């Protein structure tokens, strides 16, 4: 485990030598990330709109707060893992832009937002934080719920060198690869490039497996062949979309948990918006966006590998 000092320890508020952390957003990703911080000896105060989510963390040893402000009242670091930009905006900036959590934090607090949101939204929050003397980092992740549980996420960080150095030892508890992509927003740009490619790969892998199955092949045999051939990719390695080809993946568990299709659609939309704003052509990304848009109408809460059902609806039963 990483032993570098973050420079944020507050010996007055706890005797661990580690900073107190407020963790906001305890869903499929946030809960296991927060649990890993607890296991590493960090004191955590947590907040989520869902009581079920906070109960899980309470059982793991966190104290549960009644609001983001309460969670952060004795914290030197705030971490958030929220669904989308509007949630990040509402937590940090509040309804009128100035009555959110940022306005309550002392100068020098380090804020790490690991949600996947638009780079423009991340820059907006970073700018508001900077005016208040607060360090903000956009630090979206890759690696899925498996990576969150194993503490092997990839963090893709945007923000100042100084804030990155402070965050690194904390991120190292939850992840294996920690990249400093550049200034504010750079983490989010890199993240949506990655997820646009992931959406294309998942849709393409489902399409290829379906073609084989409809032509008499066993999905496991075909997946093994492609895994050792030039079609090899992350979805075949660790996230096969066809039920029962792989253990412990959402497709073998009714497409529950994992990365919801509506979140993949959100990321694809972010990629399309960025491409439009910067006049960049993304025809494959556009096709994947179209496929996920149609798929999420009825399957938004199911894992994104359920795009398999577009070809064969029996996989959902």
State in angstroms the smallest separation of the CB of 11 from ligand NAD.
Answer: 29
Token reading at 279:
């006049």
Residues that bind ligand NAD (CB under 6 A): 24-30, 47-50, 53, 81-83, 87, 90-91, 115-116, 141-142, 144-145, 258-259, 263, 267
Cβ proximity to ligand NAD, 52 vs 161, nearer residue: 52
191 is catalytic: yes
Residue 135 parent element (H or E)? strand 135-138
What is the spatial distance between Cα 93 and Cα 163, in angstroms, rounded to a whole number?
20
By C-beta, is 114 or 222 nearer to ligand NAD?
A: 114
Output the smallest distance, CB 53 to ligand NAD, in A.
4
Q: What is the DSSP code string of 4-41? A: ---S---TTT-SSSS--EEEE--STTHHHHHHHHHHTT
CA 11 to chain centre: 31
Cα 214 to Cα 223, 235, 307: the distances in Å are 14, 20, 16
Decide: 91 and 24 in contact? Cβ < 8 Å.
yes
Instruction: Choose, from 18, 166, 191, 266, the residue flagged as catalytic.
Output: 191
Q: Rounded to the nearest 5°, which phi and psi values hold at 238?
A: -135, 5
Output 24 or 37, the one with its CB closest to ligand NAD. Answer: 24
* Contact criterion met (CB below 8 Å) for 111 and 130: no
- Least distance (Å) from ligand NAD to the CB of residue 200? 16
CB of 93 to ligand NAD, least distance (A): 12
**Whose Cβ is closer to ligand NAD: residue 145's or residue 289's?**
145
Distance of CA 140 to the CA centre of its chain: 6
- Name the closest residue to ligand NAD (Cβ): 27
Residue closer to ligand NAD (CB basis): 222 or 304: 304
Please list the active-site residues.
Answer: 191
């Amino acid at each position: 485990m990483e032993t570098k000092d973050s420079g944020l320890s507050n010996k007055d508020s706890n005797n661990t030598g580690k900073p107190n952390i407020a963790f906001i957003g305890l869903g499929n990703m946030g809960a296991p990330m927060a649990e890993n911080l607890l296991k590493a000896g960090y004191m955590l105060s947590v907040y989520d709109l869902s009581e079920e989510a906070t109960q899980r963390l309470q059982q793991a040893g966190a104290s549960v707060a009644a609001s983001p402000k309460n969670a952060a009242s004795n914290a030197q670091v705030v971490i958030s893992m929220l669904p989308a930009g509007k949630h990040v905006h509402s937590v940090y900036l509040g309804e009128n832009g100035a009555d959110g959590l940022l306005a309550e934090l002392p100068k020098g607090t380090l804020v790490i937002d690991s949600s996947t949101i638009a780079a423009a939204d991340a820059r907006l929050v970073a700018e508001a934080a900077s005016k208040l003397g607060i360090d903000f980092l956009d630090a979206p992740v890759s690696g899925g719920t498996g990576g969150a549980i194993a503490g092997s996420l990839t963090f893709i960080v945007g923000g100042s060198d100084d804030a990155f150095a402070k965050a690194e030892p904390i991120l190292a508890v939850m992840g294996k690869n920690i990249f400093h992509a550049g200034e504010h927003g750079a983490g989010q740009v890199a993240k949506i490039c990655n997820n646009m490619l992931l959406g294309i790969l998942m849709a393409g892998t489902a399409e290829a497996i379906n073609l084989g199955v409809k032509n008499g092949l066993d999905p496991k045999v075909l997946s093994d062949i492609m895994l050792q051939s030039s079609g090899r990719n992350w979805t075949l390695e660790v996230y096969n979309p066809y039920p029962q080809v792989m253990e412990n993946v959402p497709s073998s568990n009714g497409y529950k948990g994992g990365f919801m299709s509506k979140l993949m659609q959100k990321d694809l939309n972010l990629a399309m918006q960025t491409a439009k704003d910067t006049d960049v052509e993304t025809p494959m990304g556009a096709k994947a966006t179209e496929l996920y848009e149609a798929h999420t109408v009825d399957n938004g809460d199911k894992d994104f590998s359920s795009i398999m059902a577009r070809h064969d609806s029996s996989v959902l039963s």
